[in-house]
Structure 1
């Protein structure tokens, strides 16, 4: 899920120009200083202007590179949230695929990766996953013993989906990709 626009390759575009300007400014400054040539005020002013321009270009390019690095770090953090927290939980509760490891994966995500969840989800997400696996074909994957647990998980999954969409929109916006949101899945949970 990595998207980088070609137009954002600042280094490839500005670096050669910047190097040429800096080299030219240093050559002019060196000829003025080292050879003790008495030049007119206009040449000294030109050399000063070139050095100032090179410094300004350096500042602008550095600022843009810092912005791009911060943006890439933010994109990486969002990717981690999506891939390590939201998507596995959504798949676990909306897929008929059930393995012995699924229970452990859900418990690990809920207990060890809570830091990736948003504030609204943290308020309603239970600390542990109490359930009974229902292996009857065509029925819900997860059947809860207590109605309170069922209601709590139903609310938590709805909040999970809302936060997932918010994080996905932010990712699409930062990456410059056209926003294409998935449809909400049917949660495969039940109560006995």
Structure 2
């Protein structure tokens, strides 16, 4: 970016950058000399079930535990269960999510997927989208190009903004709610 060209680490640009999102004051945090950064990409599948009035989260977690037991015992495959039961757009592909970088999914999902050994099936993972069962198929080291770096940064910023907005909404909701606990008469 021309606004920070020539600045050293720690310096602030003297001009304000105007974009469609607003006005920005830029500070150089770190300079890299064309270094290629790499990440560990994960190829995974998942099954998503969303709570409904008829099926609450606890019941879904129980169903997911039963599905995991079926997969581990060899009674069925993860792919077959994903095609049959998943409520996600990837169900037609057996829950296949393709190769993904860290930060692509919500933190609960990303953290569970990152901790899972190759070939294993996770315990039920709860996110704002519902309850997931995850299977890691492969991992690989991949170099990031500039577009992927921007996409990863954008995903992290989007997730941070979502969390901030949710926390603000939750705080406002708590301020508006009045709950009175009454003891039953003896």
Using the size of structure 2 for normalisation, the TM-score is 0.22
Using the size of structure 1 for normalisation, the TM-score is 0.22
Q: Report which of the two has the higher share of helix.
A: 1
